[in-house]
Structure 1
Amino acid sequence: MNYRLIIISAYLGLMLTGCSEKKETQIALQKQVERPNIILFVADDHGTDALGAYGNKVIKTPNLDKLASEGVRFNNAYCTTASCAASRSVILTGLFGHATGSYGHVHDYHHFSTYDKVKSLPVLLEKEGYATARIGKYHVAPESVYHFQEELKANPRNTVEMAEQCQGILASEKPFFLYFCTDDPHRAASTNPGQWDAPNSFGNKMEGYAGVETITYNPEDVIVPDFLPDSKESREEIAQYYQSVSRIDQGFGRLMQMLKESGKADNTIVIYISDNGMAFPGAKTTLYEPGMKLPCIIKDPSSKLKNTTSNAMISWVDLTPTILDMAKVEIKDNSFHGRSFKDVLNVKEPEGWDQIYASHTFHEITMYYPMRVVRDKNYKLIRNIAWRSEYPFASDLWAASTWQEVYRNNKEFYGKRKVQDYLFRPEFELFDLEKDPDEMLNLANDPNYKGVMDEMIKKMKDFQIKTRDPWLITWDHDSSLQGTGVNL
């Protein structure tokens, strides 16, 4: 036997194997280099009403306006539920909350939590070689489902300080995913809790925040949205809200400056959104337009479109599949309720993006008021499943001087809507948003729209079946999706 030949053959085999493994490693590293970095910046209770890029000429948001000039601003971007924790679960899973157990608030005694079998966006990106980090508001559970490799610490009301703490992740040798979540412009403890007509502070402080220029607004100058009463109380609260938004803008600007200094701006996708609409009755917790139609600005350096707008209807349930697509992660069919809109960033007038769905069940655990929504082109159908009950108030919205001024004076109207109509809603609300953007004329019982109603109800039921919505049972006691009660 020629042992020398055997030894040489084995040596050559090992060399070839080593070369093959080295080549595979190089290919894997090359794939990592080609993957973009991703920053998902999520504000807390920020509507389209308070952004220069969306037409507000009073508020000062130069850094976010610059992002819009460099990317794509969506005119029809929607959350699926206008409640912080529930909305964030959708953002990070691509699944509706009614299908994941994320029915409402996760903190304190509310204790809603996502099923532990769900795979969230940061977990999926980590598996693909991404460095993942989060900073600021988390508000989802359990941690095992929404796991980030790194938790950065900073005052979530000081977005400049938050940005400064992101230096490490921006310098990552791996592609990175940064989940940047402010507490602004969410309501805070009132500036004077003992005085009902004092405006909420929205996190603002007389002494300001380190590194942040305090930008104040005259209540006489602010723009009062049509759904709010144009009162002294509303204007004072909106002025505080604007100040909080301007603080976000400064932190965002600092983060973008740091990104540019890192040399990675040309390979980083930046997404700016909010979890739900402004924290005023009539917006947050409702599925009327002010509650769910939100800012969405995306700068993708590889996109063909710059400084443009898109009328495509997108939803927060689309964000996870979109970000995975941007990260060049293979997406299996039916993994998510949403779908990637990555290609929309390259098309001025995309087709097939004219329908969205929404699903709200709880805000706080004492606020059970399930609603389901289908929006198809200009028509929008809201089904108020608990329509026999009075519409519930989030605790901070009830205490808002904007609401208390109406409530304590027993006024008939809150903005354009009668107080009675706001508190007691019919089972169905059908609106033609092209003719009625304020959602004032309910067409649900108009015989001229019976065909539209029938078609919209069918779409809503199909949506509930497709997403295995337990509340399907509220249609004629349909128990087809009900489980056995046994955890198999």
Structure 2
Amino acid sequence: MKKVLFLFSIVFSFALQLFAQQEQPNIIFILTDDQRWDALGFSGNNIIQTPEMDRLASEGIYFQNAFVTTPICAASRASLLTGLYERTHGYTFGPNELQEAYAANSYPMQLKKAGYKTGFFGKFGVKYSGFEGLFDEGDSYDREVKFPDRRGYFYKTISGDSVHLTKYTSHQAQEFIKNSSAEQPFMLSLSFSAPHAHDPAEDQYFWSEDVDHLYEDFKFPKAPLSADKYFEAQPEYVQKGENRTRWYWRYDTPEKFQHSMKGYYRMISEVDLEIGKIRKTLEEKGLDKNTVIILMGDNGYFQGERQLAGKWLMYDNSIRVPLIIYDPRNPGHRKISDFTLNIDVAPTIMDFANGTVPSTWQGISLADYVIGKNPAGERKDFIVEHLWKVDIIPASEGLRTKDWKYFRYQDDLEHEELYNLEKDPMETKNLAKNPRYKDVLEEMREIFERQAAELEAEKVK
């Protein structure tokens, strides 16, 4: 009898999970700007204070090998929107708009078909003149570059008071949740501008008084790989490019380095503080038990490693990001080592919404991780690319597997880099010219070129 009851309890539990998945939950997707994977307490960072993000991770699914396929905000956000690699959707950081065919097939348009009310607040970051038609409620804004000082982050107001953009975006989210209807599920996309530096300003990083006290007396340790030899190993066009220019802005003196690190961490902690307010609003509205929360960074970030700043390059500093999924209907923590990508977010959202995932999308839904499955477990590699053609940032492309990284620069195909990540996770020993690894180099190059051609072939004609 006990055995029968035990089996019944297992079947009943599984049935409840399936029923929970069949409902249409509310969904909130939180995107931060330039938050690298280890700028999160739960990642093992003992310095940064991110209790709300850590709580989401500890109560949900934490993906420790999450990456973006393109390490620049605009193209990465287009990939998040469309579920496609940059090589397919073709949107970079240039003057052209995202093509209408891709926007029409994006996750907000699919969600409308699934009966969702959609909202977007913050940095959209994709040039598309039809933004107003994508969401039922939408407000696209970013740092105000005409202000070369803190006003770039403090030009929005609440009740007549100027507030930091992080607080403004959070306020809009809270109002959206308060005004939501029990008759219709919602999907809310929040895109914080923080912790992106305000590029025109000498001080670069700006935050609210709420987090002014954090890290005040802490001295950040020197960045790894900051010795001259790691910079000198870079090709000349990297040494003279934007990654180096921004290193001078942020890290070239001990004083700048301390200021920039404290500012970056404070801005992330401020986002974390606002996430707590948003979750409290969900609780007050009685929606906390039926709202899935997804959190991700749009790209990684250099903090002085190799004497560089910014992102754009193919090193893991640039492409590895935090990713968390919290589903209160299926509580329980898992730490996942599978490769997960920014192109997976759109199908994941649609899967949670019980909508139709377009067959043209290239990502994998991660939704079933919350019920103990491993949908991305078979992914063994992925393409990384930065295809914007601009003089100050060399376009590059490559392939990453669990144990190997291969990449090259499009205007200098003779320069290739190959790293054994198992033995050299910091990517310091380029094996591309080592004859012992000729076969590995050729295999990685061949796999990359074949997959790149396949992605090119999937463009809208």
TM-score range, shorter chain: 0.7 to 0.9
1:386 and 2:411 matched:
yes
Q: Which residue of 1 aligns with 2:118?
A: 132
Q: Which residue of 2 aligns with 1:312?
A: 338
SS in 1 for 2:301: coil
Q: Which residue of 1 aligns with 2:214?
A: 216
Distance 1:452 1:261, change over 3 A: same
User: How many residue pairs end up in the alignment?
Assistant: 387
Answer whether contact 1:58 1:221 (CA < 8 A) is retained: no
Letter of the aligned partner of 1:172 in structure 2? S
Q: 2: distance between equivalents of 1:203 and 1:126?
A: 36
Counterparts of 1:235-384 in structure 2, within 5 Å, are 235-278=258-301, 280=303, 281-282=308-309, 284-303=311-330, 306-333=332-359, 335-347=360-372, 351-362=377-388, 365-367=390-392, 369-384=394-409
Letter of the aligned partner of 2:348 in structure 1? T
TM-aligned CA deviation for residue 82 of structure 1: 1.2
Q: 1: distance between equivalents of 2:81 and 2:217?
A: 36
Answer whether contact 1:321 1:340 (CA < 8 A) is retained: yes
TM-aligned CA deviation for residue 75 of structure 1: 0.9
Post-superposition Cα deviations, 1:78-121, rounded to whole Å, max 9, x if no partner, equal 011111111111111111223223122xxxxx423211111211
TM-aligned CA deviation for residue 220 of structure 1: 4.7
TM-aligned CA deviation for residue 376 of structure 1: 1.8
Answer whether contact 2:31 2:297 (CA < 8 A) is retained: yes
Letter of the aligned partner of 2:126 in structure 1? V
Post-superposition Cα deviations, 1:168-189, rounded to whole Å, max 9, x if no partner, equal 4324221111110111111115
**63, 76, 85: which one aligns with 1:74:** 63
Letter of the aligned partner of 1:463 in structure 2? Q
Q: 2: distance between equivalents of 1:387 and 1:295?
A: 31
Distance 1:274 1:147, change over 3 A: same
SS in 2 for 1:151: strand
Q: 2: distance between equivalents of 1:101 and 1:311?
A: 29
1:47 and 2:36 matched:
yes
Post-superposition Cα deviations, 1:348-406, rounded to whole Å, max 9, x if no partner, equal 7773133222121128x444522122112211111221237xxxxxxxxxxxxxxxxxx
1:99 and 2:88 matched:
yes
Q: Which residue of 1 aligns with 2:247?
A: none
Counterparts of 1:182-201 in structure 2, within 5 Å, are 182-189=192-199, 193=202, 200-201=203-204
Letter of the aligned partner of 1:301 in structure 2? P
Letter of the aligned partner of 2:338 in structure 1? A
TM-aligned CA deviation for residue 282 of structure 1: 4.9
Q: 2: distance between equivalents of 1:70 and 1:343?
A: 16
1:169 and 2:158 matched:
no
- Indicate the RMSD between aligned Cα atoms, in angstroms: 2.9
Q: Which residue of 1 aligns with 2:244?
A: none
Q: Flag the structure with more relative contact order, 1 or 2, with Cα contacts below 8 A and sequence separation at least 6.
A: 2
Post-superposition Cα deviations, 1:5-25, rounded to whole Å, max 9, x if no partner, equal xxxxxxxxxxxxxxxxxxxxx
Q: 1: distance between equivalents of 2:269 and 2:319?
A: 21
Answer whether contact 2:398 2:448 (CA < 8 A) is retained: yes
Q: 2: distance between equivalents of 1:80 and 1:437?
A: 19
Say which one has the larger Rg: 1
Answer whether contact 2:173 2:190 (CA < 8 A) is retained: no
TM-aligned CA deviation for residue 123 of structure 1: 1.2
SS in 1 for 2:281: helix
Q: Which residue of 1 aligns with 2:5?
A: none
TM-aligned CA deviation for residue 289 of structure 1: 0.5
* Structure 2: gaps of 5 or more residues: 1-18, 141-155, 158-162, 228-250
Post-superposition Cα deviations, 1:327-366, rounded to whole Å, max 9, x if no partner, equal 1112243x11222222234447773133222121128x44
Distance 1:274 1:98, change over 3 A: same
Q: Which residue of 1 aligns with 2:48?
A: 59
Answer whether contact 1:38 1:176 (CA < 8 A) is retained: yes
Counterparts of 1:151-170 in structure 2, within 5 Å, are 151-152=138-139, 157-170=164-177
1:202 and 2:228 matched:
no
Letter of the aligned partner of 2:455 in structure 1? T
Post-superposition Cα deviations, 1:285-312, rounded to whole Å, max 9, x if no partner, equal 11210111011111022446x2331101
TM-aligned CA deviation for residue 322 of structure 1: 1.6
SS in 2 for 1:467: helix
Q: Which residue of 2 aligns with 1:475?
A: none
Letter of the aligned partner of 2:193 in structure 1? D
Identical aligned residues as a percent: 29
Distance 1:163 1:114, change over 3 A: same
Answer whether contact 1:228 1:234 (CA < 8 A) is retained: no
Distance 1:257 1:33, change over 3 A: farther
Q: 2: distance between equivalents of 1:31 and 1:130?
A: 17
Distance 1:224 1:61, change over 3 A: farther
Distance 1:159 1:33, change over 3 A: farther
Answer whether contact 1:310 1:348 (CA < 8 A) is retained: no
Counterparts of 1:18-29 in structure 2, within 5 Å, are none
What's the TM-score once normalised by structure 1's chain length?
0.73
1:457 and 2:458 matched:
no
Distance 1:31 1:260, change over 3 A: closer
**25, 38, 46: which one aligns with 1:36:** 25
SS in 2 for 1:203: coil
Q: 2: distance between equivalents of 1:347 and 1:64?
A: 21
Answer whether contact 2:71 2:385 (CA < 8 A) is retained: no
Answer whether contact 2:122 2:190 (CA < 8 A) is retained: yes
Q: 2: distance between equivalents of 1:143 and 1:346?
A: 39
**71, 96, 106: which one aligns with 1:112:** 96
SS in 2 for 1:463: helix
Q: 2: distance between equivalents of 1:227 and 1:326?
A: 41
Q: 2: distance between equivalents of 1:147 and 1:228?
A: 44
Q: Which residue of 2 aligns with 1:180?
A: 190
